[in-house]
């Protein structure tokens, strides 16, 4: 007879007629679960990268505006290479990235470089940082500036 107070028989018997899982089967299930999670992460990353890619390597601001959602931040900054318009995009909540995508336009509003993720040591990270500190433009204001002659000037400071 088993004494209920000594704790020696507190486990319930296993399911009737079922064999316990083998270690190999458990290991394979864990392996395929990890592989599945990794494949899902890659699929999400590829989808996000495709979604944020510009239509061409030298597209204009207007062409990018037609493809992407509105920018999170848009600013004009001065660099040693000249005036640059910086478009900082939005990062979807489901995408794991260090920072938003960044698109750099020259004084003719043509794309000169872009990066799908800022904050990872990309040389344009300094441009993205400077753009965050600069006065923000709306997309319609930026498009109007692109219609003007070749020079785009930084916005005037409000007093």
* Alpha carbons 143 and 138: distance in angstroms, whole number: 9
Question: What are the residue ranges spanned by the domains of the chain?
Answer: 21-52, 54-147
User: What is the reported pLDDT for 86?
Assistant: 92
User: What is the reported pLDDT for 76?
Assistant: 92
What residue ranges of the chain have pLDDT lower than 50? 150
User: What is the reported pLDDT for 111?
Assistant: 92
| CB 129 within 8 Å of CB 147 | no
| CB 104 within 8 Å of CB 127 | yes
Taking Cα atoms as reference points, which of 158, 156, 151, 157 lies closest to residue 84? 151
């Amino acid at each position: 007879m088993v004494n209920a107070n000594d704790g020696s028989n507190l486990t319930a018997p296993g399911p009737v007629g079922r064999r316990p899982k083998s270690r190999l089967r458990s290991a394979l299930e864990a392996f395929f679960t990890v592989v599945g999670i990794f494949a899902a992460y890659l699929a999400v990353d590829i989808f996000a990268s495709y979604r944020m890619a510009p239509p061409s390597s030298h597209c204009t601001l207007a062409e990018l505006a037609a493809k992407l959602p509105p920018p999170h931040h848009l600013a004009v900054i001065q660099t040693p290479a000249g005036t640059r318009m910086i478009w900082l995009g939005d990062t979807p909540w489901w995408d794991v990235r260090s920072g938003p995508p960044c698109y750099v336009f020259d004084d003719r509003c043509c794309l000169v470089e872009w990066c799908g993720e800022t904050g990872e040591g990309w040389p344009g990270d300094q441009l993205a940082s400077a753009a965050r500190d600069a006065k923000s433009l709306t997309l319609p204001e930026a498009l109007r500036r692109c219609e003007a002659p070749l020079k785009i000037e930084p916005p005037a400071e409000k007093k």
